[in-house]
């Protein structure tokens, strides 16, 4: 605790805190620090929770170097304040001692489809405002990518169990193992009295390489592997194609569960990897090997065939990458894991009449409203894969719009 107090005391309490401005949900960091130092930990937790219901999660998985920590003014000449460490403690305490507020039901029903970060956020916000919320999900537990995509060693699933208790305390009805867009349509939900529907089903379809060998038995998609790694036999040597957080999570999981020798094949350079810097550092500590400037061209039974990639920078600063097919090499691999991003599932276009983009994502305005009356959306199904905190931020904007919609005369609520 003394370490956390020392960190809180380092904060300069800036009048215009750049750390808060750098946070997608504008967390009131100086106010939280003040309450914490005054011994008002519950008040600090309530402030965090009301601003960001998933603060207990984002304090762990947020890209802090790009957000609060990366914008701290102390970081310009020295060590920035690590707010997330204090946030993690406060938020964890608040979840463990959570007591639901007295809520007066307003008689209005809202359906939330998808129990990931955006869905949990929306459910909590609306339930606290008196809405009767039903939360649907295709899986058997809440969490979405938090439960089925982020490894236990990065995000303990016990935190999600605590959120389930909070949802229960707020009288949010959870309907698991239910996929909207197959046997249930949005029109059916409106007929059953839902005034608004919020879609946040994520992007669960893995992108393919489109190469020979991709259907072989030892080739897997990272998002499938991370859902249930115990069901896979990877062997001694594993090659992972990708450069983001999913690739890193798969690599670190493979080392832990299969005791494999893991090599990440990255098309660009080390400086171009999209994974969080802190996660990259931990992966290297864990023993993950990195082969940069490597383009996979074919997957064979026990190897991955690659060519080197040359990076060049023009005088105008334009960067290009060129494959050198004369510089071919092979990487031994008992298993290959593909982690090059995700897209929307095939059922997205079937959930209703809402328009979709060329990428197959739901098309919305800046507040998450789709082209279908009463249907709103946020999260990865709108933006493509983003961070948890970005999903929370978008869900908050959509929640305000749903309230406005349900309060308007045109909504006929």
pLDDT per residue as tens digits for the range 218-253: 999 999 999 999 999 999 999 999 999 999 999 999
Token pair recorded at residue 273: 């990897």
Tokens of 364: 């919305």
- Quick one: pLDDT at residue 159? 97
Domains within the chain, CATH numbers bracketed: 2-96 (1.10.1060.10), 109-204+342-407 (3.50.50.60), 208-338 (3.50.50.60)
- Please give the mean pLDDT across all residues of the chain: 93
Q: Are strands 109-113 and 132-136 parallel, antiparallel or unpaired?
A: parallel
pTM of the complete model = 0.93
How many angstroms separate the CA atoms of 15 and 289, rounded? 45
> Which residue pairs, CB below 8 angstroms and at least 24 apart, start in 103-107?
103/127, 103/128, 103/130, 103/170, 103/171, 104/130, 105/130, 105/131, 105/132, 106/130, 106/131, 107/132
User: What is the 3-state secondary structure of 208-225?
Assistant: CCCCCCCCCCCEEEHHHH
Tens place of pLDDT for every residue, the chain, 413 residues? 689 999 999 999 998 999 999 999 999 999 999 999 999 999 999 999 999 999 999 999 999 999 999 999 999 889 999 999 999 999 999 999 999 999 999 999 999 999 999 999 999 999 999 999 999 999 999 999 999 999 999 999 999 999 999 999 999 999 999 988 877 888 999 999 999 999 999 888 899 999 999 999 999 999 999 999 999 999 999 999 999 999 999 999 999 999 999 999 999 999 999 999 999 999 999 999 999 999 999 999 999 999 999 998 888 888 899 999 999 999 999 999 999 999 886 566 556 677 888 888 889 999 999 999 999 999 999 999 899 999 999 999 999 999 999 998 444 44
Using CA atoms, how far residue 7 sits from 4, 356, 376, in Å, is 5, 46, 40
pLDDT of residue 354: 79
Contact, 48 vs 27, CB < 8 A? yes
CA distance 3 to 9: 10
Residue 155 near residue 60 (C-beta atoms within 8 A): yes
What is the structure's pLDDT at 72? 95
Q: Per-residue b/e over 374-399, b at no fewer than 16 CB within 10 Å? A: bbbbbbbbbbbbbbbbbbbbbbbebb
Would you report the helix, strand and coil content of the chain in percent, each value rounded to 5? 40, 20, 40
Reference 339, options 203, 413, 240, 234; nearest CA is 240
């Amino acid at each position: 605790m003394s370490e956390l107090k020392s960190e809180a005391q380092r904060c300069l309490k800036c009048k215009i805190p750049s750390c808060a401005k750098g946070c997608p949900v504008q967390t009131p960091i100086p106010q939280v620090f003040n309450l914490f130092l005054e011994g008002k930990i519950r008040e600090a937790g309530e402030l965090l929770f009301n601003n960001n219901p998933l603060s207990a999660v984002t304090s762990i998985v947020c890209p802090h170097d790009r957000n609060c920590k990366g914008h701290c003014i102390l970081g310009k000449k020295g060590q920035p304040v690590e707010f997330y460490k204090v946030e993690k403690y406060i938020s964890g305490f608040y979840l463990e001692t959570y007591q639901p507020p007295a809520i007066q039901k307003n008689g209005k029903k809202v359906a939330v489809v998808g129990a990931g970060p955006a869905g949990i956020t929306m459910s909590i916000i609306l339930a606290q405002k008196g809405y009767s919320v039903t939360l649907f999900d295709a899986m058997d537990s809440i969490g979405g990518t938090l439960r089925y995509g982020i490894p236990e060693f990065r995000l303990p699933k016990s935190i999600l169990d605590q959120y389930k208790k909070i949802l229960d305390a707020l009288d949010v009805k959870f309907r698991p193992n239910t996929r909207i867009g197959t046997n249930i349509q949005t029109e059916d939900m409106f007929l059953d009295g839902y005034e608004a529907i919020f879609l946040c089903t994520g992007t669960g379809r893995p992108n393919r390489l489109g190469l020979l060998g991709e259907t072989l038995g030892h080739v897997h998609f990272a998002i499938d592997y991370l859902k249930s790694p115990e069901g896979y036999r990877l062997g001694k040597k594993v090659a992972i194609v990708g450069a983001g957080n999913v690739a890193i999570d798969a690599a670190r999981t493979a080392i832990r569960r299969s005791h494999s020798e893991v090599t990440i094949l990255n098309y660009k350079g080390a400086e171009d990897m999209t994974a969080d810097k802190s996660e990259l550092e931990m992966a290297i500590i864990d023993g993950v090997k990195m082969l940069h400037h490597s383009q996979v061209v074919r997957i064979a039974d026990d190897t991955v065939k690659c060519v080197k990639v040359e990076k060049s920078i023009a005088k105008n600063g334009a960067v290009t990458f060129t494959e050198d097919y004369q510089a071919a090499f092979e990487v031994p691999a008992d298993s290959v894991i593909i982690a090059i991003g995700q897209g929307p599932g095939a059922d997205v276009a079937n959930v209703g009449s809402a328009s979709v983009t060329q990428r197959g994502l739901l098309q919305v305005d800046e507040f998450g409203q789709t082209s279908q009356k009463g249907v709103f959306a946020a999260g990865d199904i709108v933006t493509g894969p983003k961070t948890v905190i970005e999903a929370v931020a978008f869900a908050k904007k959509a929640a305000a719009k749903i309230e406005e919609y349900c309060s308007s005369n045109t909504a006929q609520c």
